[in-house]
Amino acid sequence: MLHQRTSRRLAIAAALLILPMTGPATAHAAQPTAAAAPPAGPARPATDPARPVTDVRPAAAPDISVAAVKAHLSQLQSIATANGGNRAHGRPGYLASVNYVKGRLDAAGFSTVVQSFTYGGATGYNLIADWPGGDAHDVLMVGAHLDSVAAGPGINDNGSGSAAILETALAVAQTGSAPGRHLRFAWWGAEEQGLRGSTYYVNNLSAAARAQITGYLNFDMVGSPNAGYFVYDGDNSDGTGAGPGPAGSAEIESVIEDYFAGIGVPTRGTDFDGRSDYGPFIARGIPAGGTFTGAEGTKTSAQATLWGGTAGARFDPCYHAACDTTSNINDTALNRNSDAIAYAVWTLAAGDGGTPGTQVWADGFETATGWTVNPAAADTATSGTWERGTPGAASSGVATQLTARTGTYDLVTGAAAGSSAGAGDVDGGITSVRSPAITLPSSGTLTLSFAYYLSHLNNASSADYLRVRVAGTTTATVLTVSGAATNRAASWAVASTDVSAFAGQSVRIIVDAADASTASLVEAAVDDVLITQS
């Protein structure tokens, strides 16, 4: 978290910064065709501690594993240890942190972009990760700064927020969520230098792209050892400081308060004082909210009575210090805040589509479920035909075949290619595979998502391709990836498309791969097929 004196200077300057960028593109659906201590303020309502407490997460909101969040913190600690003891802007430990987070998100199927900027003579980086699907004109962003100060590894400030939103993002992928709103996660650079990364991002968006962001959640220091439970005061119910956030901020505050009330933990407000990365968002009128467990401020006796801990001691005794290590984390606070993040994301991301993604049908290929190779008896491929297999990694200058995205098995064109690039690739024409019949519900928004890759060498052409279709009373092509005379490395991606036009029908998914060029190397795979209803 930014030092308080610096934040005041930034608050004065925030409204003066205006520049122009484009936002990330989003997928589209194919259409069917025939065939300081924060202000104390009044305590928020809480459940009676003597009453039984029930978990108020929506049915679809997962329980975020604190062990998994702490595993990310251990990785960030190791990165700092290997890079001079910190993960600060312009230092190698920061870029290594970006690469770690990016690697986890890429493997999970997010579309990631690393945005570079310059500050203080050093290059900084923002990491932006978009989950496919959702309304591109109604974007919910979730962010945390990833950098530390130079004095230490920054595990609470702000490894804690970064790790918690990372595990939440991974949960989005693992559950196959299909929210009504488009979800975008962000890890900001150079926050400790004055919110430089988030400010650069917001100010370089085009007006149209900025207007698409309809809410921003910020999580900065969510595991302080002597923790408080603070929620950004979107409605100015505390009546102190900067006043309310932009319209919509009160609703964000209410959602987060609901979670804590449901687990019997009272909350207090914290002012939008410009000390963290919500600053440039609220300066542009974007509603914001989030949680905070305290920094260098001192816990009062009243707060110690409310939450436990030590009165007269700092919320974080290692704030901006070398001792901000993995030993500087309150597991209970980290666990509660991680679950609060998931609750807020699942609740707010639902948008007009209801709760994110009730699973209708899924196949990760770990067991045989009845996919049929060459279902029309018309395939022409002579090798590398589709199979449910356990592929090994192979390469020929670039990666040509990957191991399964999750688990051990996937659908792959010739798993034997793992022994030698090209040993079992598609040759001779088309190979196809068809799913078992899937009965779709007759109502709601139906979303098909799946992971895939197509790889080829520069002896390929546009006649080579990977294609995915949905067949019911009509047939829709939902993905086509064409070859080209260039090296294309295998890399898992995730496609998501609206298949509501097939509501109430029995459908099958058909996957085709073609090597229609002479002597070209073509490989393809599909994994983690999911249909959800929202």
Enumerate the active-site residues.
191
Tokens of 325: 């290590």
| Size (the chain), residues | 534
139 Cβ partners below 8 Å, 6+ apart? 23, 181, 182, 183, 184, 212, 213, 214, 215
Type of residue found at 64: I
Task: Report the alpha-carbon distance of residue 478 to residue 316 in Å, rounded.
Answer: 51
Torsion sign over Cα 312, 315, 321, 324 = positive
Task: Report the alpha-carbon distance of residue 87 to residue 272 in Å, rounded.
Answer: 26
Task: Report the alpha-carbon distance of residue 35 to residue 160 in Å, rounded.
Answer: 52
Task: Report the alpha-carbon distance of residue 43 to residue 47 in Å, rounded.
Answer: 12
Task: Report the alpha-carbon distance of residue 303 to residue 324 in Å, rounded.
Answer: 23
Do residues 201 and 116 touch, judged by C-beta distance below 8 A?
Answer: no
Task: Report the alpha-carbon distance of residue 428 to residue 414 in Å, rounded.
Answer: 13
Bond before 86 cis per omega within 30 degrees: no
User: H or E stretch including 359?
Assistant: strand 358-363
Report helix, strand or coil for 45.
coil
User: H or E stretch including 424?
Assistant: none
User: For the chain, how far is it from start to end, CA to CA, in angstroms?
Assistant: 37
396 Cβ partners below 8 Å, 6+ apart? 421, 422, 457, 521
Q: In this structure, what are the phi and psi dihedrals at residue 126, rounded to the nearest 5 degrees?
A: -105, 140
Buried b (16+ CB within 10 A) or exposed e, 117-138: bebeeeebbbbbbbbbbbbbeb
Q: In this structure, what are the phi and psi dihedrals at residue 167, rounded to the nearest 5 degrees?
A: -65, -35
* Residue at token pair 């959602």: 255
Report helix, strand or coil for 334.
helix
Q: In this structure, what are the phi and psi dihedrals at residue 531, rounded to the nearest 5 degrees?
A: -120, 130
Task: Report the alpha-carbon distance of residue 534 to residue 355 in Å, rounded.
Answer: 6
Task: Report the alpha-carbon distance of residue 255 to residue 267 in Å, rounded.
Answer: 12
At CA 7, angle to CA 6 and CA 10, rounded to 5?
Answer: 90
